[in-house]
Chain A
Amino acid sequence: MTSMDIEKIADYFTDSLRQVLRTMAGFEVSNTSCDQLDFSDKESNIIGIMVLHGKKDAVISLSMEYSTAAMVIAYMTGILPEELSESDLFDGVAELVNIMAGEVKARLSNTPYHFLLTSPFSIGGTSLKVARKKNLTEACRHLKAGEMDITFRIAYI
């Protein structure tokens, strides 16, 4: 597959994520492409990840600060950010990845890009970075609303 394909597929995912945030959290987020730095060097606290099985396997991730995760999950659950535990945030970010991927899976069914979902998971810590191999076919997007910044990445593996 070409890098053109992956850019288009990245747009499907970000469209889906915008839809998820609009529907479930009441947020409107803007979508911008990433600069070269964002592909690996940007630091975050929490990353939700899912491996996708298709003609080509891929990995998708959502990275954000704890404060962003807390805000998003608070609006989704109606529970105040300060009342959410760390495990609530991990679970919530993983579920965001799951819902986003589920919608794209349905949209891409009966196409050459059809894929299967796997169980999503989250990792957390301080100053997390996503390291990458050279020449990987990948795409990246930023979704922003106010102070919040969520980075979406997809790479064929």
Chain B
Amino acid sequence: MKVLSVDDSAMIRKIIRGAVEVLDGDLLEASDGIEALELLEEEYRSIDLILLDWNMPRLDGMEVLKKLKADSRFRAIPVMMVTTESERSNIVKAIQHGAVHYLVKPFTIQELVKRIMESLGKGGYKND
């Protein structure tokens, strides 16, 4: 199992690394949207789940999500938003754009592990 964490905070990526390792998975890291898309060009075939922050420099999470779902190579990879952005309209917007889960910071490590498990393999893109 391979997970890509896209977050501009190294601390959050470290926490996510701990959660992914417990599930015997590997973690790839990107610190913003541009880096994530570059990494995906090379690695998309092996990635099972993307954890995506919303507020990031250069390219934010919502823009990344739209690009992922518009690209036939990437659209089947499930995306879970992991972010401080917690306004209702934005949560609904992310779901409508194909996120399978929305985890708001702060979260407990148990919650993170649980949501990662639930998001794995959900894949697909339900709404057009």
Q: Is A–B contact present in the complex under a CB 8 A cutoff? A: yes
Residues of A within 8 A of B (CB): 19-20, 23-24, 73, 76-79, 87-88, 91-92, 94-95, 98-99, 101-103, 105-106, 109, 117, 119
A102 contacts which chain B residues (CB < 8 A)?
83-86, 104-105
Number of B interface residues at 8 Å Cβ cutoff, please give it: 20
Cα distance A101–B105 when bound, in Å?
Answer: 11
Residue B106 contacts which of A23, A79, A87, A88 (CB distance < 8 angstroms)?
A: A23
B84 contacts which chain A residues (CB < 8 A)?
98-99, 101-103, 105, 117
Interface string of B11-51 (1 = CB under 8 A from A): 11011001000000000000000000000000000000000
Interface residues of B in 1-18 (CB under 8 A from A): 9-12, 14-15, 18
Cα distance A5–B20 when bound, in Å?
Answer: 42
Name which residue of chain A comes closest to B85, CB basis.
A102
Residue A76 contacts which of B11, B86, B104 (CB distance < 8 angstroms)?
A: B11
Given A23-B107, A102-B85, A88 and B11 touching (CB < 8 A)?
yes
Structural contact, A73 and B106, CB atoms closer than 8 A: no
Structural contact, B55 and A73, CB atoms closer than 8 A: no
Structural contact, B11 and A92, CB atoms closer than 8 A: yes
Structural contact, A94 and B87, CB atoms closer than 8 A: no
Residues of B within 8 A of A (CB): 9-12, 14-15, 18, 55, 57, 83-87, 104-109
B104 contacts which chain A residues (CB < 8 A)?
102-103
Cα distance A4–B121 when bound, in Å?
Answer: 50
B109 contacts which chain A residues (CB < 8 A)?
24, 78
Name which residue of chain A comes closest to B55, CB basis.
A117
- Least Cβ distance of A45 to chain B in Å? 17
Structural contact, A103 and B10, CB atoms closer than 8 A: no
Residue B11 contacts which of A19, A23, A77 (CB distance < 8 angstroms)?
A: A77
- Identify 13 new A-B residue pairs, CB closer than 8 A, beyond the known A101-B84, A109-B87: A24-B109, A77-B14, A77-B15, A88-B10, A94-B9, A95-B11, A98-B84, A102-B85, A105-B84, A105-B87, A106-B86, A119-B55, A119-B57
Structural contact, B106 and A19, CB atoms closer than 8 A: yes
Structural contact, B12 and A106, CB atoms closer than 8 A: no
